[in-house]
Each structure stands twice: as structure tokens, then as C-alpha cells.
Amino acid sequence: MSDPDFLNRYRVCTGQLGSDDDGFKGFFCVRIKGARVKCMASDGEGWQHVSVSVDKSNQPPSWALMCAVKDLFWQPEDCVIQFHPPAAVYVNQHPGVLHLWRSLHTAQPMPPLWMV
């Protein structure tokens, strides 16, 4: 996780999605490049997960916003991914939400660096 004190400045502490200082888990709202970005973070079953959306938009977040969120929640050297699952198991509950995932138990396989 990135700096928890820094991240806690953006934690929503009241209301239905409010949480206290609970480390990685919680609901966070942060301004990035002029946009109000909403992030729901969780961890369980060996994965850290952040759902990312732009407030009052049905459009998915841009690559730049997703990179900024990755930097908020993880260290620069952490490998964080977006999945594109098989059609048979695909679920889309909101067209404007993208997801970041990080395994806590295994190193994420990556293609050779010259290909990335």
C-alpha cells in the first residue's frame, strides 16, 4: 500500500460507505486532474481490489486516471492489473467502473519486458 496517512485524507468516514482508519479497505474520494474520482478498495482471498469511477459520469476512467489511482493505492514497483475475463463469467454492474487487482500471494506473470 502507498502511504496510509496520505490515503486516509481521502477516506470517506461517514454515511453508508463510511469507514474508519481500516488500512487498505474503504471508500475514498479524491480529485485527480480536475475529476472527482471514487474508489472502493477491498482485500480478501489473497487479492487487493480497487473499483474506480468518475463522479457523475457513465464513462469509464481514462488510462491517466487509472495510473494515478494505482499510484495512490500501491507502491511504484507493485504489479497491478486489469482483467478482461471470458464472456461466460463477465459481469458489468456499471459501465463507468474499471477495476485494479493485485495478488497478495503470487507474483503476477508478465510478458518479457521488451514486449511491454
- What pLDDT digit, counting tens, does each position of 59-101 carry? 999 999 999 999 999 999 999 999 888 989 888 888 899 999 9
Q: Is residue 114 part of a domain?
A: no
Query: The pTM is what?
Result: 0.88
Residue 1 has pLDDT above 70, yes or no: no
pLDDT tens-digit map of 55-64: 999 999 999 9
If one counts the domains in the chain, the total is 1
Domain assignment present for residue 77? The answer is: yes
Query: What is the helix, strand, coil percentage profile of the chain, to 5?
Result: 20, 30, 50
Task: Kindly state whether residue 116 falls inside one of the protein's structural domains.
Answer: no
The range of the structural domain enclosing residue 58 comes to 4-107
Mean pLDDT of the chain: 90
Residue 112: inside a domain, yes or no?
no
Distances 104 to 17, 24, 44, 94, 96 between C-alpha atoms, Å: 24, 13, 9, 26, 26
- pLDDT at 3 > cutoff 80: no
> Is residue 42 in a domain?
yes
